């Protein structure tokens, strides 16, 4: 897949029964949405979650997704493919191996390919997912935060919230070492990064955190 985001071929909580006035099970309510684990809005129309199962399809329909970006390399389940087809949702697959240390299988090129899919406006609303929505998804979201000029302290705080209790230092190293210059230049040229991604408040917070990091580094160098 190139930076233009051309697609490649490749969607989990308990059944909930609602009870009627007579106390009998009458099946799941049409208004009952079961949300995938680790689901969250990232920014704009970019979402993240664990691997969706059929229980989540009703909820996903409400997002009016245009695309799903899966980070798992395995073949996509037929049930999920049928759901995507029924709803006119395009599938992008940028496979990454499970993030076990040492982290040697994910290159900057792979991350850049995933970012190009996620931030392209034509693909949004888009859902990014891996299996549990923690590590691989966390790495991609962390790199999106770099495009937003977030300080590393903020990026790592978010990563740890979603990956708890198994945060992986190598994931954080991947985020820190990722060179976003190529995708940033290309995205700006294509007008893929909206200015509202970096509000004044967010920029102030990021600048303050970055200044704090630099101050700490200077003290350590003394």
For the chain, list the domains and their CATH numbers.
40-204 (3.90.190.10)
Band of residue 32 on the pLDDT scale cut at 50, 70, 90: low
Residue 209 has pLDDT above 50, yes or no: no
Residues ≥6 apart with Cβ < 8 Å to 145: 154, 155, 158
Which entry of 130, 139, 143, 198 is annotated as an active-site residue?
130
pLDDT in tens, 60-108: 999 999 999 999 999 999 999 999 999 999 999 999 876 555 445 678 8
Residue 121 has pLDDT above 60, yes or no: yes
Band of residue 206 on the pLDDT scale cut at 50, 70, 90: very low
Q: Which tops the pLDDT comparison, 169 or 98?
A: 169
| Residue 222 pLDDT | 56
Residue 11 has pLDDT above 80, yes or no: no
* Dihedral sign computed on CA atoms, order 188, 136, 170, 202: positive
Count the Cβ atoms, other than its own, within 10 Å of residue 62.
Answer: 8
- pTM here is 0.73
Q: What CA–CA distance (Å, rounded) separates 146 from 171?
A: 14
Q: Is 130 a catalytic residue?
A: yes
């Amino acid at each position: 897949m190139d930076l233009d985001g051309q697609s490649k071929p490749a969607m989990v909580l308990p059944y909930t029964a609602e009870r009627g006035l007579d106390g009998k099970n009458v099946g799941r309510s049409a208004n009952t949405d079961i949300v995938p684990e680790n689901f969250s809005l990232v920014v704009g129309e970019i979402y993240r979650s664990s691997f969706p199962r059929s229980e989540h399809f009703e909820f996903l329909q409400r997002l009016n997704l245009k695309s799903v970006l899966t980070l798992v390399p395995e073949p996509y389940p037929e049930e999920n493919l049928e759901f995507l087809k029924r709803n006119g949702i395009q599938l992008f697959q940028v496979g990454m191996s499970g993030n076990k240390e040492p982290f040697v299988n994910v290159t900057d090129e792979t991350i850049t390919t995933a970012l190009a899919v996620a931030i392209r406006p034509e693909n949004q609303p888009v859902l990014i997912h891996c299996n549990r929505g923690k590590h691989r998804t966390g790495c991609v979201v962390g790199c999106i935060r770099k495009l937003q000029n977030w300080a590393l302290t903020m990026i790592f705080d978010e990563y740890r919230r979603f990956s708890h209790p198994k945060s992986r230092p190598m994931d954080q190293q991947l985020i820190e070492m990722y060179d976003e210059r190529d995708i940033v230049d290309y995205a700006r040229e294509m007008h893929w990064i909206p200015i509202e991604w970096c509000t004044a408040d967010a920029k102030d917070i990021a600048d303050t955190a970055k200044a704090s990091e630099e101050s700490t580094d200077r003290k350590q160098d003394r």
